[in-house]
């Protein structure tokens, strides 16, 4: 004997098979939708947790500072190698050293690259001391440009090389002078006044070189 179908309160009568099937289908759909939402929320929470771990757990140190160059120490080695004094720029608070090396070749050159220490200052100047050389060496560093004028700085006559805006690379100004048997060339992207200030600070060493020759 079949058990009679229960009376549904909303209908006031037993459900028909079609109504029962529709109700079950709606219930299943609602359940699956709720499960999908729960899964999405759970996945989002897990993702945020992983990101938090990566952000807070990864060690953070200060950015590595630029390698400090021992200008005086390198210059001492240059003097020992060349058995001759090397020009050593006085950095003060304005300049920092970007590079310093003894370059070999037909003419051996003690080369120091300086840049402003302050972040709001731009440009560079290279101080190149060519051993046993004269002004005829300088065009090798300046794409063949020869001196076009002279200027007096610190009581010394300096050759001025007519580079101008048409020059290749970043070099915009260059001056040089004889220092005994060596030739000292200053060139770079700084202004004429800035280059002259650096040149004047080198005059005592240049005079000493001239007197020793």
Domain that holds residue 155: 71-212
Place of tokens 């920092």: 96
Assess whether 116 and 201 both reside in one domain.
yes
Instruction: Kindly state whether residue 64 falls inside one of the protein's structural domains.
Output: no
- Count of structural domains within the chain: 2
Assess whether 160 and 186 both reside in one domain.
yes
Give CA–CA dist 132/140, Å, rounded: 15
pLDDT band at residue 163 using 50, 70 and 90 as cut-offs: confident
Average pLDDT, whole number, for the chain? 83
Give CA–CA dist 67/74, Å, rounded: 14
Q: What is the DSSP letter of 133?
A: -
C-alpha dist (Å) from residue 178 to 42, 156, 211, 213: 77, 9, 12, 11
Assess whether 41 and 92 both reside in one domain.
no
Assess whether 97 and 198 both reside in one domain.
yes
Convert the pLDDT of each residue in 39-50 to its tens digit. Answer: 666 566 756 665
Assess whether 52 and 76 both reside in one domain.
no
Convert the pLDDT of each residue in 11-34 to its tens digit. Answer: 556 667 766 666 776 666 665 655
Assess whether 77 and 148 both reside in one domain.
yes
Instruction: Kindly state whether residue 65 falls inside one of the protein's structural domains.
Output: no
């Amino acid at each position: 004997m079949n058990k009679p179908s229960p009376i549904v309160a909303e209908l006031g009568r037993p459900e028909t098979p079609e109504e029962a099937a529709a109700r079950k289908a709606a219930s299943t759909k609602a359940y699956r939708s709720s499960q999908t939402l729960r899964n999405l929320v759970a996945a989002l929470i897990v993702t945020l947790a992983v990101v938090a771990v990566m952000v807070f757990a990864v060690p953070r140190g200060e950015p590595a500072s630029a390698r400090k160059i021992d200008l005086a120490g390198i210059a001492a080695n240059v003097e020992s190698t060349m058995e001759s004094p090397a020009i050593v720029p006085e950095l003060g608070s304005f300049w920092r050293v970007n590079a310093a090396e003894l370059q070999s070749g037909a003419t051996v050159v003690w080369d120091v690259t300086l840049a402003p220490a302050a972040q709001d200052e731009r440009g560079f100047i290279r101080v190149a001391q060519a051993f046993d050389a004269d002004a005829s060496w300088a065009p090798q560093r300046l794409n063949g440009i020869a001196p076009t004028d002279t200027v007096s700085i610190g009581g010394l006559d300096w050759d001025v090389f007519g580079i101008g805006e048409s020059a290749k690379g970043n070099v915009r100004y260059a001056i040089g002078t004889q220092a005994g048997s060596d030739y000292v060339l200053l060139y770079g992207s700084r202004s004429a006044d800035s280059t002259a200030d650096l040149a004047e600070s080198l005059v005592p060493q240049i005079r000493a070189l001239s007197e020793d020759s």
